[in-house]
Amino acid sequence: GQNIDQPTEMTATEGAIVQINCTYQTSGFNGLFWYQQHAGEAPTFLSYNVLDGLEEKGRFSSFLSRSKGYSYLLLKELQMKDSASYLCAAMDSNYQLIWGAGTKLIIKP
Protein backbone atom coordinates (compact mmCIF):
# COMPACT_ATOMS: atom_id res chain seq x y z
CA GLY A 1 0.00 0.00 0.00
CA GLN A 2 0.87 3.65 -0.10
CA ASN A 3 1.96 5.35 3.09
CA ILE A 4 3.62 8.49 4.38
CA ASP A 5 5.03 8.72 7.91
CA GLN A 6 6.11 11.89 9.68
CA PRO A 7 6.19 12.87 13.36
CA THR A 8 2.98 14.29 14.77
CA GLU A 9 4.52 17.19 16.66
CA MET A 10 7.91 18.80 17.27
CA THR A 11 9.05 21.66 19.48
CA ALA A 12 12.01 23.94 18.83
CA THR A 13 13.43 27.23 20.07
CA GLU A 14 13.45 30.51 18.19
CA GLY A 15 16.75 30.95 16.35
CA ALA A 16 17.55 27.22 16.37
CA ILE A 17 17.53 24.58 13.62
CA VAL A 18 14.95 21.80 13.26
CA GLN A 19 14.77 18.78 10.96
CA ILE A 20 11.41 17.20 10.11
CA ASN A 21 11.68 13.68 8.74
CA CYS A 22 9.38 11.89 6.33
CA THR A 23 9.40 8.32 5.05
CA TYR A 24 7.26 7.20 2.16
CA GLN A 25 6.05 4.12 0.31
CA THR A 26 4.25 4.68 -2.98
CA SER A 27 3.33 2.83 -6.15
CA GLY A 28 5.90 4.45 -8.37
CA PHE A 29 7.51 7.75 -7.48
CA ASN A 30 7.52 11.10 -9.23
CA GLY A 31 8.83 13.36 -6.53
CA LEU A 32 8.46 14.52 -2.93
CA PHE A 33 6.77 17.75 -1.87
CA TRP A 34 6.81 19.76 1.33
CA TYR A 35 4.02 22.20 2.13
CA GLN A 36 3.52 24.60 5.03
CA GLN A 37 0.07 25.02 6.54
CA HIS A 38 -0.69 27.65 9.18
CA ALA A 39 -3.68 26.94 11.43
CA GLY A 40 -6.94 27.65 9.63
CA GLU A 41 -5.24 28.32 6.31
CA ALA A 42 -4.53 26.49 3.07
CA PRO A 43 -1.27 24.61 2.42
CA THR A 44 1.42 26.59 0.59
CA PHE A 45 4.23 25.04 -1.45
CA LEU A 46 7.73 24.93 0.04
CA SER A 47 9.79 22.49 -2.01
CA TYR A 48 9.86 19.69 -4.59
CA ASN A 49 12.59 17.05 -4.84
CA VAL A 50 12.73 14.39 -7.52
CA LEU A 51 16.49 13.67 -7.54
CA ASP A 52 18.61 12.56 -4.61
CA GLY A 53 20.30 15.29 -2.66
CA LEU A 54 19.79 18.57 -0.89
CA GLU A 55 17.90 21.55 -2.30
CA GLU A 56 18.41 24.84 -0.46
CA LYS A 57 16.00 27.72 -0.59
CA GLY A 58 16.82 30.48 1.88
CA ARG A 59 16.26 29.31 5.46
CA PHE A 60 14.57 26.12 4.25
CA SER A 61 16.28 23.08 2.74
CA SER A 62 14.86 19.73 1.64
CA PHE A 63 16.68 16.44 1.20
CA LEU A 64 15.68 13.29 -0.67
CA SER A 65 17.02 9.74 -0.72
CA ARG A 66 15.02 7.69 -3.22
CA SER A 67 16.74 4.42 -2.33
CA LYS A 68 15.74 4.83 1.33
CA GLY A 69 12.28 6.29 0.72
CA TYR A 70 13.27 9.18 2.96
CA SER A 71 13.13 12.95 2.96
CA TYR A 72 13.65 15.72 5.46
CA LEU A 73 12.86 19.40 5.69
CA LEU A 74 15.47 21.52 7.46
CA LEU A 75 14.47 24.88 8.88
CA LYS A 76 17.26 27.22 10.04
CA GLU A 77 17.18 30.39 12.14
CA LEU A 78 13.70 29.58 13.33
CA GLN A 79 11.24 32.43 13.68
CA MET A 80 7.94 32.51 15.55
CA LYS A 81 6.12 32.73 12.22
CA ASP A 82 7.46 29.26 11.34
CA SER A 83 5.00 27.79 13.84
CA ALA A 84 2.78 25.74 11.51
CA SER A 85 2.11 22.24 10.27
CA TYR A 86 4.50 20.85 7.67
CA LEU A 87 3.00 18.38 5.23
CA CYS A 88 5.04 15.79 3.37
CA ALA A 89 3.51 14.43 0.14
CA ALA A 90 4.84 11.89 -2.36
CA MET A 91 3.72 11.81 -5.98
CA ASP A 92 2.89 8.30 -7.20
CA SER A 93 3.05 6.78 -10.68
CA ASN A 94 -0.34 8.35 -11.56
CA TYR A 95 0.99 11.80 -10.60
CA GLN A 96 -1.34 11.88 -7.59
CA LEU A 97 -0.09 13.19 -4.25
CA ILE A 98 -0.17 10.90 -1.23
CA TRP A 99 -0.19 13.10 1.87
CA GLY A 100 1.19 12.59 5.34
CA ALA A 101 -0.85 13.75 8.34
CA GLY A 102 1.53 16.65 8.91
CA THR A 103 4.01 17.62 11.61
CA LYS A 104 2.91 20.41 13.92
CA LEU A 105 5.95 22.55 14.69
CA ILE A 106 5.81 24.62 17.88
CA ILE A 107 8.37 27.40 18.24
CA LYS A 108 9.17 28.64 21.74
CA PRO A 109 10.85 31.98 22.49
Q: Which residues bind another protein (CB under 8 A)?
A: 4, 8, 30-31, 33, 41-45, 48, 87, 89, 91, 95-97, 99-102
Longest dimension (CA), the chain: 43
Q: What are phi and psi of 97, to 5 degrees?
A: -90, 130
Alpha-carbon distance of 27 to 88, in angstroms, equals: 16
User: In whole angstroms, how close is the CB of 17 to another protein at the nearest point?
Assistant: 25
Q: Between 64 and 91, name the residue whose CB sits nearer to another protein.
A: 91
Spatial contact of 89 and 4, defined as CB atoms under 8 Å apart: yes
Q: Between 70 and 99, name the residue whose CB sits nearer to another protein.
A: 99
Q: What are phi and psi of 98, to 5 degrees?
A: -105, 120
Q: Between 13 and 44, name the residue whose CB sits nearer to another protein.
A: 44
User: In whole angstroms, how close is the CB of 42 to another protein at the nearest point?
Assistant: 4
Q: Within 13 Å and on the Cβ side, how many CA atoms surround 14?
A: 5
User: In whole angstroms, how close is the CB of 15 to another protein at the nearest point?
Assistant: 28
